[in-house]
Structures are given as structure tokens and as C-alpha cells.
Copies of this chain bind each other. A is one copy, B any other.
């Protein structure tokens, strides 16, 4: 008991005489004593470990989003002295694997891009605290973080309009992700605000990959054989933009001279395409970092220092929070935390050819 009290200097509940304290410290040094975290964990029911679950990243996938968020999480884990167990699953249907992790080895879970049924969400919540980022849909029993997809899409589209574009296509991402609809919605709003009629035939469904962008560009060109091509495309991800860019350049279009392209994400890949992509920045690193803070707060409910303060309300429907990091997030009625998006101007957009 005395040894425990001395070595966990933090717990200063008990008072120990200086002589005993020194004797213990000296003995510990001499014996090279190293506390066993498993025994501590068993006793304290706290491992200072968070779990991260994400879909297996295929080696051929250029999508860096998950890794950028993961970097943020690892960064947050470092500053909050937490260990991180990273677990990849092939599919969100592998629910047993997630339940299996909750066997005492971790204190909470961060889910990256999950797709959870409500019943599973409840089951998981009975075992552990969790938060998610980029959830497919509303997340029950936990907080979900995302970028402001609506606002970001609106900004990107407005930017194209301000350059003089009137016919602007939209290449969508995976339909199951609810951010996809938000982005389409933001695009549509920007058009309508500018008095441009929304044309559903300019919206192309797809997925968040560059092959998808490639195909969507092909479809767009096929469709435009009879009429005229749009002068700009708002792509729902950087990967889509890169696929579209490649296809269009192959087909003899110049970007941005003949056609402007914007992406979404500001993933690292947006810098590396043959034309650097104008895009909407999601603060992926910050989102990962904050997920750790948020999760820790859910775990230690007693912890007094809230990571955010309310700074505004919008007709009671959304709430603006100021995070300790200085970032502002919006809480939606569905309890999603939305991080501000930001337009990043690069080479792939320009005014249309007169």
C-alpha cells in the first residue's frame, strides 16, 4: 500500500514520511521496478487506451482521408497520454470484431466512417463509450463528427459561379454517406441563390474514388455529345476530381482553360495531381485530434474541464461551440459536430472561355 502511494505520486491522499518515501524510491530504482499496466488496468478498470476502427485501406487506394484522420487521432492520443489500438475491418458488417475488442483492453472507441444499425449502436454502447467521424448516417448513443458538407459545397459552387460559370456539373460520392446529400444540397443552394436553375441532368451519382470520377467524366462527355459541355465540375471528393481530371485531359480538354474542376477534402492527393486541385478543406487532422478529446470526456464524465463553450444558437436548432483548440463547430439537431470547411484555391479553376 505504501509503495503504491509513493510510486503513484499523483494520488497524494495518504501522507508518507520522507524517510519511508526515500527508502521505497531507492528500492524501486535498485530493483528496476516497472509497474505492470495490466495489473493496474485490472484493478482500476482503465487502460488509458482508445480503440480506432476503420475499413481496411487497400494498398491501391489513393484515398488518404482515413490516414489523415488517424494521424490526428495519434496526435491527440499523444497529448492526452492514451494508447491507441488500431483495428481494421473488411466491412462494417463485422460487428463481432468490434464487440470483441471491448473486453477490457480499451476505454472507448473511435469509429472512422462507420455504417451502424441502430440496434448495433445500442449494443456497442452497452459495452463502451464511442464517437465517430464521417458516419454514414446519424449516430445514436454517441457523437459523430464531420465537416460542414453543406457549407463547403456551397462555397465551392459559389466560387465557380463567381468566376463566371453558369453550367456547372456535380459528381457525387457514395449515396449511403449522408454527407453526399448535404454536398449536393449545398451545390443546389448556391446555384439557386445565383439565379441559376438547378438541372438534375448535370448531377452524376458515383463513389468517392478516382475510378468513379473517371467514369463520371466519361458519362458527362457522352451526354454532352448532342448539346454542350458544362464549363465547370464540382466533384464531391479530391479522388473523384483527380479521376475526372485525368479523363478530361486524356480526351483533349485543358484544365482549367476549357473546364474548371473543384474537389472536396483537401486531401494530400489534391496537391499532387497534374493540376493542383482547387478544393474544400476538411480539417481532418483536427477532427481526429478532437475525437480523442471528446471521447475522453465521455469516458471520464466527472472531468470538469469542458472542451467547448457555447457561443451561439440558431433559432434553437443548431448550436455553435468554441473548442479549446480555438476551432468553431456547429452542433446539429441530430447531435452531429460539424467542423468548418474552407475553400482552398489552386490551379484547377479559372473563368470560362468567354
Which residues of A does B touch, CB under 8 Å?
A: 34-39, 41-42, 47, 49, 56-57, 59-62, 64, 67-68, 71, 74-75, 78, 83-88, 101-105, 127, 242, 268-269, 271-274, 284-285
Q: A38-B38, A38-B41, A62-B268 are in contact. Are A88 and B74 (CB under 8 A)?
A: yes
B56 near A75 with CB under 8 A, answer: yes
Candidates B74, B83, B104, B127; contact of A101 at CB < 8 Å: B83
Q: What 6 A-B pairs come out closest when comparing CB atoms?
A: A274-B274, A37-B103, A38-B104, A36-B104, A74-B88, A38-B41
Chain B residue numbers with a CB within 8 Å of A272 are 62, 242, 269, 272-273
Residue of B nearest to A99 (CB): B34
A84 near B87 with CB under 8 A, answer: yes
A332 CB to nearest chain B CB (Å): 26
Q: How far is the CA of A285 from the CA of B86 in the complex (A)?
A: 17
Q: How far is the CA of A74 from the CA of B39 in the complex (A)?
A: 26
B88 near A34 with CB under 8 A, answer: no
Q: How far is the CA of A61 from the CA of B39 in the complex (A)?
A: 39
Chain B residue numbers with a CB within 8 Å of A103 are 34-38
Q: How far is the CA of A212 from the CA of B67 in the complex (A)?
A: 24
Q: A37-B104, A62-B268 are in contact. Are A84 and B83 (CB under 8 A)?
A: no
Residue of B nearest to A71 (CB): B57
Chain B residue numbers with a CB within 8 Å of A285 are 59
List 22 A–B pairs whose Cβ atoms lie within 8 Å, in order of A's numbering.
A35-B103, A36-B42, A36-B103, A36-B104, A37-B105, A38-B104, A38-B105, A39-B42, A39-B104, A56-B71, A56-B78, A59-B71, A59-B268, A59-B284, A61-B268, A62-B272, A83-B87, A84-B86, A84-B87, A85-B85, A86-B86, A242-B272
Q: A56-B75, A59-B68, A273-B272 are in contact. Are A42 and B38 (CB under 8 A)?
A: yes
A220 CB to nearest chain B CB (Å): 22
A86 near B74 with CB under 8 A, answer: yes
A71 CB to nearest chain B CB (Å): 5
Residue of B nearest to A105 (CB): B37
Residue of B nearest to A45 (CB): B38
Chain B residue numbers with a CB within 8 Å of A62 are 268, 271-272
Apart from A47-B105, A59-B268, list 7 A-B contacts with CB within 8 A. A38-B103, A38-B105, A59-B284, A71-B88, A83-B101, A83-B105, A273-B274
